[in-house]
Amino acid sequence: MNTENKGVLVIYTGGTIGSMPKDPNDTASPQVVVDWNDFLDRTSVLKEGLGYRLGFAKLSVALDSCDIGPEHWTEMAEIIENNYDDYEGFVILHGTDTMVYTASALSFMLANLAKPVVLTGSQRTHLFQARNDGLQNTITSLSIANPKATGIPVIPEVMICFGTDLLRGNRSKKKDANGYIAYESPKYPNLAKIGANIEVNEARILPIPDGAFFVRKNLELNVIDFNVFPGVVHNGVADLLFDSKSFTPKGAVVRAYGAGNIPTDEKFLARLANASQNDPKVTMINVTQCTQGRVELGLYETSNKLLAFGMVSGTDLTPEAAMVKLMVGLADEDLQYDQVGLRNFLQTNQAGEQSTSIYEMPFPTPAANLSSGKPRFRFPADRDLPGTWEPSELEGVQLRLYGAKVTGPAEDEALEIDVYANLSSNEEPSGPESTKFAGRFRKAPTADASIISFDVTAATRRLFRPGQRSSFSLILASEKGDLEWQRAELGLFVKE
């Protein structure tokens, strides 16, 4: 076993932790960030060390984190890349205002990370204030970044260490502008509780990855954060953002209400639909404005329309994580906007940032319909079932028909459709007792084309595994009526 302790690389970026009053004779004068030499000179714990090796690096200019952006994330990622093998872990001293963005961005940029990267800062600095949280936060972060020295488990993640909390960076939110407990992770448990001891919640930390560490350095800057609010449909802001000659975003985070809903005003929706489908295409990802819970596109009529025009589901991503995931995904030339590309990258878990991954598998069949003259239709897959999952991890599986219209056997009478899984084309369906039976569904007549889904979770759990070929068959159970559609896909929701 290699017992050499390589120590920690401390990366200084500025922030309150590195700030002093502009006028040294007036402690009430506005604070400004000091340069690295000044910082080190006044930080005895870094100068004298903690009994193991410390290395130091810095951003080319120390900044208040309000001025930190994608170019600085790349700088930080490159520092880690260049020093990756030489240290046990990394501590980034950073301002609190945009720490969540930096932590989220680095979590996607540092792919297959096997070492701790800990971001910390302070609400009061130790540089000139005796009562401060900067020193404690720095020392605790060093302990987490050097598991060999402290005996705690290796946490191979980008984290935020602040006050009594150790949080997954891409799950964090800044919740307090002044308090010493400044961050929270509302949708994922804390990675550790920090007190006299550092109690790591081992069940919740990411596993050490199998693949080799690499860095994604490019970021798409042409993105916007679009918050819907009551009245947004009347003020022209959607036209300005999505139909302007001078500004054409490549991506947009759409902060929606509740489970992913936005106003249904036709002009407004059409503006978003055009921007999302026509060139130059804007990739839109939907997140919730709520602190808890997740987006479930298709749950309500209002969000079904978004799914129909290609909105990416952000499930329970924080808006900050969604924004930087979009920046990273859009800048990656290998990802195309199709099933295996950008959409897949955005909707599946990359670094513990979301609780559910969504895999979509389109069926290669053309537009078709089901009627008494043609009561049976089979969707055979032309590719293997995506993802890695155990049947118990499948939260849901939907067979979705896009551009679908239902005509009932009589006005206001629902159409009944049986769905089977894995039925070969010449095999007779053998009824509800058969293991291949996925259910009988009643679908109300529709006025316009929309998305019709069939919940095929139980049959998928029973019959299919990732990597297998699947097929689904629809059989009209009503004597009359009609179901027509444009295209079909399978949507798999997998618990992470």
Residues at the site binding ligand ASP, with contacts judged by CB under 6 A: 15-16, 64-66, 95-97, 121, 123
User: What residues form DSSP beta bridges with 482?
Assistant: 371, 407
What is 317-346 written as a DSSP string? --HHHHHHHHHHHHH-TT--SSTTTHHHHH
Closer CB to ligand ASP, 67 or 390, in the complex: 67
Other CB atoms within 10 A of residue 371 CB: 14
Minimum distance of ligand ASP from residue 178's CB (angstroms): 9
* Sheet-wide strand order for 198-200: 54-63, 8-14, 89-93, 117-120, 158-162, 165-168, 192-194, 198-200
Going from the C-alpha of 321 to that of each of 112, 179, 282, 285, 491, the distances in angstroms are 18, 23, 18, 11, 23
Closer CB to ligand ASP, 129 or 336, in the complex: 129
Q: Cβ-closest residue to ligand ASP?
A: 95
Closer CB to ligand ASP, 133 or 296, in the complex: 133
* Buried/exposed 244-264: b ≥16 CB within 10 Å, e otherwise: eeeeebbbbbbbbbbbbbbbe
Q: Is 493 exposed, middle or buried (0-12, 13-18, 19+ CB in 10 A)?
A: buried
Minimum distance of ligand ASP from residue 61's CB (angstroms): 13
Closer CB to ligand ASP, 38 or 416, in the complex: 38
Please, what sign has the CA dihedral across residues 204, 210, 212, 217?
negative
Provide the terminal-to-terminal Cα distance of the chain, rounded to the nearest Å: 32
Cis peptide before 280 (omega within 30 of 0): yes
Structure tokens at 60: 């080319």
Q: Which H or E run contains 490? A: strand 487-495
**Known catalytic residue: 16?**
yes
What is 52-76 written as a DSSP string? S-EEEEEEEEEE-GGG--HHHHHHH
Minimum distance of ligand ASP from residue 133's CB (angstroms): 10
Minimum distance of ligand ASP from residue 167's CB (angstroms): 16
- Choose the catalytic residue: 13, 16, 125, 356: 16
Rg (CA), the chain: 26
Minimum distance of ligand ASP from residue 348's CB (angstroms): 31
Minimum distance of ligand ASP from residue 55's CB (angstroms): 23
Closer CB to ligand ASP, 99 or 297, in the complex: 99
Closer CB to ligand ASP, 95 or 491, in the complex: 95
Closer CB to ligand ASP, 64 or 353, in the complex: 64
Distance CA 347, CA 359 (A): 7
Minimum distance of ligand ASP from residue 60's CB (angstroms): 16
For residue 279, give the DSSP letter.
S
Are 36 and 68 within 8 A, CB to CB?
no
Distance CA 233, CA 262 (A): 10
Closer CB to ligand ASP, 94 or 325, in the complex: 94
Return the amino acid letter for 400. Answer: R
Minimum distance of ligand ASP from residue 182's CB (angstroms): 8
Other CB atoms within 10 A of residue 445 CB: 17
Annotated catalytic residues are 16
